[in-house]
Amino acid sequence: MGEELKQSLSLAWRALMSNKVRSFLTMLGIVIGVAAVIIIISIGNGAQSLILDQLKSFGKDLVIVLPGNSDEGPPSEAMGITITTLKYNDAEALSKPNNVANVKAVVAYYQTSANVIWRDKSYETVINGVTANYFDVEDSSIDKGRFFTNEEVNSAAHVAVLGSVVVDELFGDVDPIGQRLRIKNQTVEVIGVLKSRGKVGMQDYDDQILVPVVFAQKMIAGVDYLSSIRVKLVPNADADRAVSEIEETLREQHNILKKEDDDFSVHSFQDVLDTITRITNTINYFLATMAGLSLVVGGIGIMNIMLVSVTERTREIGLRKAIGATNGQILRQFLLESVCLTLIGGSIGIISGILISYLAAVVAHLLRYQWDFVISIPALLIAVLISIAIGIIFGLYPARRASNLEPVDALRYE
Amino acid sequence: MADYPLIDVRHLNKIYDNEGVITQVLFDINLKIKSGEFVSIMGPSGSGKSTLMHILGLLDRPTSGEYFFNGHNINELSDNQLANLRNQSIGFVFQSFNLLPRTTVLDNVKLPLLYSRDKRKMDERAREVLENIGLGHRLYYLSNQISGGEKQRVAIARALVNNPQVIFADEPTGNLDSRSGIQVMQILQALNDKGTTIILVTHETFTAEHAQRIVKIYDGRLVSDEPVVNRRIAKENEFLK
């Protein structure tokens, strides 16, 4: 058995090497298919970990309150509708311990975008109105200068803390602290610069200007509502209980009796995490399935070339039968050949897939993303098994054709 | 020695049905060949001699009639049993050699051993046969690097490696120059002298007369079956030790 396998392998190898270009082109389908699956799984995992790790690092014990009842359907912002039900005094109500227990901090957000002007330079960026306890819920800190105080928030002080991208865009090498900027028609004084943090998910935290939330609402946008409220609980607090206490408080604030009438929605971090995981998983599986389809196309290429090979070697098959090869032995020989083809193709695909995934990770790092280079061993094993399976599945028909040839017909074949 | 002939064919017919076009190739063939004989099957091309050889060599089955090979009724044997009989008891030598391309001489000769149950000392057995046939210096040459005469000797070595009872040679000298042809006939005669049954298919009287007996086929019918009176002996018996 061992000797027969060795001989069959060396024969399969010779058969493939006797037509290098053809073998390579045939393999290419499998190479591309396997590489695509590996790359998509790896990049998918990388992107997922990018989003989830960042969320986990600062999002533990976090509850997010959004305006509008978003339990059903897409968020209202996606439809171009602004919901104005969340107010600054809602945030104040949530920070009272007799309303919601175990709260460490409540941060109110009003987000908009605007053109910012300093001397002859202008730059369009995100204006993020927040409260003074911003750093309690965000994984961020001050690099230079200081953050604004509670008093400055309540008095709508004209002060701003800049992200590093905004500093680079507007000031270059000039020290921005103490400089005056124009946002819409307001003049604000730069009092601090945020430590560079990079992109988290799709959001660039360095490309924003933080201002007191009341200032952003009243002086820049002329509105009285909030974009969102983030509630940070004390470590290991019961998030479900906090969510229901927040809901009750807000219903009281908004004079709502039934849950169905809620004009806000409350999401614990775990909800958000689950949703994001579900969405990214779905996308990953979908993409991997698409890439897997190319493996089927590659398999058809294998079948095609194996049929050509069987025809070309009809006399050889006849001879083998004449000297005593059984149908089963001929079948195994051709199957081995197609499995060799797909296994070699699959291996090349795995190696190139890993290389390309690694390159993607390097590029992501250069673009300041926190990107993990993830190669899952199960995915590699599955890729190898799929390669073998394709060799068997698509090699079976040609191999059966070879094994069923009549020895006389095969020997006579010209 | 068994008391039945090695080959015993009774009322054998072969009919091809090619998509409704029915062609009868062999008509009521009766033939007995004893173990140790050297028989030529002669006939012009299209006479059915190759078809007869294929059936006798267990590569094809008769449409009707009976064929006993070494006492086995082949109508009762499965394809795998026939493959095993071909492997163990029969050697083939073809006009066009049918060696595996880009494969060494040694590996070509080993080929029948790979399909054999007895896989011991395959290299040694193949080498021994090649040395006996005078090709010990060509073991690791590729089959496309040697001359036509050498190719046919490799094919004979391949036919011999499993010590078969009978060798079927289908126009073995047809693609060879006369000198190589004589060598091949010498080898076949020497093998026959040692007891191997040889069945030679040819259309040339000269080649056929190296046998002890000539069976003539014409239009699918056996027309004569006579011993050779003046048997030719291939000279210079230096290629077989």
Average pLDDT, chain A: 87
How do the pLDDT tens digits run along chain B, 241 residues long? Answer: 557 899 999 999 999 988 889 999 999 999 999 999 999 999 998 899 999 999 999 999 999 999 999 999 999 999 999 999 999 999 999 999 999 888 899 999 999 998 988 878 888 999 999 999 999 999 999 999 999 999 999 999 999 999 999 999 999 999 999 899 999 999 999 999 999 999 999 999 999 999 999 999 999 999 999 999 989 998 764 444 4
**Minimal C-alpha gap between A320 and chain B (Å):** 8
Read off the pLDDT of residues B93-144 as tens digits, 9 standing for 90 and up.
999 999 988 889 999 999 999 898 887 888 899 999 999 999 999 999 999 9
> What pLDDT is stored for residue A360 in this prediction?
87
> What pLDDT is stored for residue A85 in this prediction?
87
Contacts of A348 by beta carbon, 8 Å cutoff, 6+ apart: A27, A31
> What pLDDT is stored for residue A133 in this prediction?
92
- CA pair distance B108, B59, nearest whole angstrom: 20
Read off the pLDDT of residues A337-395 as tens digits, 9 standing for 90 and up.
999 999 999 999 999 999 998 998 888 888 877 777 877 788 788 888 988 999 999 99
Strands (E), A280-405: none
The sign of the dihedral angle between the CA atoms of A320, A326, A332, A334 is: positive
- CA pair distance A168, A118, nearest whole angstrom: 12
By the 10 Å C-beta count (0-12 exposed, 13-18 middle, 19+ buried), A239 is classed as buried
| Share above pLDDT 70 across residues of chain A, in percent, rounded to a whole number | 94
- CA pair distance A247, A271, nearest whole angstrom: 15
> What pLDDT is stored for residue A281 in this prediction?
87
Helix (H, G, I), strand (E, B) or coil at B176: coil
Q: Which candidate, B197, B202, B200, B92, places its Cα nearest to that of B155?
A: B92
Indicate yes or no: CB of B83 within 8 angstroms of CB of A316: no
> What pLDDT is stored for residue A269 in this prediction?
82
- CA pair distance A179, A187, nearest whole angstrom: 10
Considering CB atoms only, which of B86, B98, B122 is closest to A3? B122
> What pLDDT is stored for residue B103 in this prediction?
87
The angle that helices A314-322 and B79-89 make with each other, rounded to 10 degrees, is: 70
Question: What are the chain B neighbours of A406 within 8 Å (beta carbons)?
Answer: 60
The residue ranges of every structural domain in chain A are: 2-55+275-412, 84-262
- CA pair distance B201, B189, nearest whole angstrom: 14
Considering only CB atoms, which residues of chain A are within 8 Å of chain B? Answer: 3-4, 7, 11, 14, 18, 315-316, 318-329, 406-408, 411
Least confident of A52-61, A315-324, B6-15, B116-125: A52-61
Total residues found in chain B within this entry: 241
Indicate yes or no: CB of B112 within 8 angstroms of CB of A327: no
| Share above pLDDT 90 across residues of chain A, in percent, rounded to a whole number | 44
Considering CB atoms only, which of B88, B94, B114 is closest to A3? B114
Indicate yes or no: CB of B110 within 8 angstroms of CB of A18: no
> What pLDDT is stored for residue A275 in this prediction?
84
Residue A219 has pLDDT above 50, yes or no: yes
- CA pair distance B115, B101, nearest whole angstrom: 19
Name the β-bridge partners of B166: B90, B197
- CA pair distance A314, B179, nearest whole angstrom: 31
Stronger pLDDT, B145 or A54, i.e. the higher one: B145
User: Do residues A334 and A395 touch, judged by C-beta distance below 8 A?
Assistant: yes
Read off the pLDDT of residues A244-261 as tens digits, 9 standing for 90 and up.
999 999 999 999 888 888
Considering CB atoms only, which of A18, A315, A329 is closest to B115? A329
> What pLDDT is stored for residue A78 in this prediction?
60
Distances (CA, A) of B201 to A173, B27, B168, B169, B213: 99, 18, 8, 6, 12
Read off the pLDDT of residues A147-178 as tens digits, 9 standing for 90 and up.
999 999 999 999 999 999 999 999 988 999 99
Q: What does DSSP assign to residue A77?
A: G
Residue A1 has pLDDT above 70, yes or no: no
- Label the pairing between strands B7-18 and B21-33: antiparallel
Question: What are the chain B neighbours of A407 within 8 Å (beta carbons)?
Answer: 59-60
Question: What are the chain B neighbours of A333 within 8 Å (beta carbons)?
Answer: none
Q: What does DSSP assign to residue A195?
A: P
> What pLDDT is stored for residue B238 in this prediction?
44
Q: In the numeric block, which tokens belong to residue B130?
A: 């090649």
Give percent helix, percent strand, percent coil of chain A, each to the nearest 5: 55, 20, 25
Q: In the numeric block, which tokens belong to residue B187?
A: 């080898």
Count of Cβ atoms closer than 10 Å to residue A279 Cβ: 12
Name the β-bridge partners of A253: none
The sign of the dihedral angle between the CA atoms of A257, A261, A265, A268 is: positive
Torsion of CA A270, A276, A279, A280, to 10 degrees: -130
Indicate yes or no: CB of B115 within 8 angstroms of CB of A324: yes
Contacts of B170 by beta carbon, 8 Å cutoff, 6+ apart: B50, B53, B92, B93, B94, B95, B201
Considering CB atoms only, which of A11, A323, A327 is closest to B112? A323
User: How much is the average pLDDT of A385-407?
Assistant: 92
Stronger pLDDT, A3 or B28, i.e. the higher one: B28
- CA pair distance A26, A151, nearest whole angstrom: 72
Please work out, in degrees rounded to the nearest 5, the angle formed at the alpha carbon of residue A64 by the alpha carbons of A266 and A57: 140
- CA pair distance A165, A198, nearest whole angstrom: 10
- CA pair distance A83, A15, nearest whole angstrom: 70
- Counting the structural domains of chain B, the total is 1
Stronger pLDDT, A71 or A227, i.e. the higher one: A227
Read off the pLDDT of residues A16-41 as tens digits, 9 standing for 90 and up.
887 889 889 989 989 999 998 888 88
- CA pair distance A230, A247, nearest whole angstrom: 13
> What pLDDT is stored for residue A200 in this prediction?
63
Q: Is residue B65 part of a domain?
A: no
Q: In the numeric block, which tokens belong to residue A212?
A: 């007191």
Least confident of A48-62, A83-97, B89-103: A48-62
User: How much is the average pLDDT of A195-209?
Assistant: 79
Residue with tokens 């070697």: A313
Instruction: Give residue B54's identity as a one-letter amino acid code.
Output: H
Domain of residue B108, CATH code: 3.40.50.300
The angle that helices A327-366 and A2-17 make with each other, rounded to 10 degrees, is: 60
Residue with tokens 């050509």: A308
* pLDDT level of residue A396 (50, 70, 90 thresholds): very high
> What pLDDT is stored for residue A116 in this prediction?
93
**N-term to C-term CA, chain A:** 32
Name the β-bridge partners of B40: B200, B214
- CA pair distance A410, A317, nearest whole angstrom: 7
Residue A75 has pLDDT above 90, yes or no: no
Q: In this structure, what are the phi and psi dihedrals at residue B48, rounded to the nearest 5 degrees? A: 105, 5
> What pLDDT is stored for residue B102 in this prediction?
83
* pLDDT level of residue A71 (50, 70, 90 thresholds): low
Best residue in A10, A323, A411 to probe B by mutation, most B CBs within 10 Å?
A323
Stronger pLDDT, A288 or B27, i.e. the higher one: B27
- CA pair distance A47, A364, nearest whole angstrom: 10
The per-residue DSSP string of B64-103 comes to: EEEEEETTEEGGG--HHHHHHHHHHHEEEE-TT--PPTT-
User: How much is the average pLDDT of A287-315?
Assistant: 89
Q: In the numeric block, which tokens belong to residue A183?
A: 């946002």
Total residues found in chain A within this entry: 414
Q: Which candidate, B100, B218, B55, places its Cα nearest to that of A408?
A: B55
Indicate yes or no: CB of A408 within 8 angstroms of CB of B100: no
User: Do residues A63 and A267 touch, judged by C-beta distance below 8 A?
Assistant: yes
> What pLDDT is stored for residue A197 in this prediction?
80
Q: In the numeric block, which tokens belong to residue B54?
A: 């294929």
Question: What is the residue range of B218's domain?
Answer: 36-54+79-227
